[in-house]
Amino acid sequence: MSTENGPRAADRGVALTFDDGPSSYTNQVLDILKRERIRATFFVVGENIDERRADLRREIGEGNLVGNHTFTHIDTAGGGSEVAKQLTETSALIKRETDFTPCLFRPPGGTKTPQSTALINRRGLKSIGWDVDTQDYTQPGSDSIVQTVLRDARPGSIVLMHDGGGPREQTVAALPRTSHCRAAPEGVPLRHPRQAARRWRTLCVDLRLRLRDKA
């Protein structure tokens, strides 16, 4: 199973998520999140990590959560040994650079099948979808991105954005204005990446239990 949104209680915030980084835009996104005192979840592509190690460490170090998005943005629908290898390799890279083992996974394109679900479960990962798609990857304009979030987000919504995978100037321009939605600040931002990693390791255990109870 995949989680497309959190609890809908009126006091719940909105979760901002970013896919396909880290990239040259990631630091700009992090600068805005830090200024607005918002934390987000970054679903990272493993092959991007080597040249953007500092960005990955900054994501964790500033209190954000990092999830697995495969190594090459592969289609995970069929499951199989190559998908398993990519999940393992990407998680290992994240662990090596941040001392944090991810507990969340987002399938590229949001594809879910019984085969992929079984594989993800065996890896101890929880699949996270979304219920608000900004379609920022189509470059619809920053105004359109903002309007989609403000129109469609509800308490507990998970918003899909991208900090990598192509030109993301529009996403960066839109992000400050999306803060009118109550983005959910999970956890406490800690300065040292390894301190933050320990904080998120505890959160992952708690999150797995909450999502299991909800399923």
19, 20, 55, 136: which one is catalytic?
19
Closest to 17 in 3D by CA, of 181, 196, 195:
181
Q: Are strands 104-105 and 15-19 parallel, antiparallel or unpaired?
A: unpaired
In the annotation, is 133 catalytic?
Answer: no
Buried b (16+ CB within 10 A) or exposed e, 194-214: eebbebbeeebeebeeebeee
CA distance 129 to 122: 18
CA 43 – CA 212 distance, rounded (Å): 21
Give the single-character DSSP code of 141: -
DSSP 3-state of 45: coil
Catalytic hit among 69, 73, 136, 162: 162
* Among candidate residues 22, 11, 16, 76, the one with its CA nearest the CA of residue 48: 22
Radius of gyration of the chain (CA): 16
Strand, helix or coil for residue 112 = coil
Give φ, ψ of 143 to 5 degrees: -60, -40
Active site residue 11: no
Catalogue the active-site residues: 19, 162
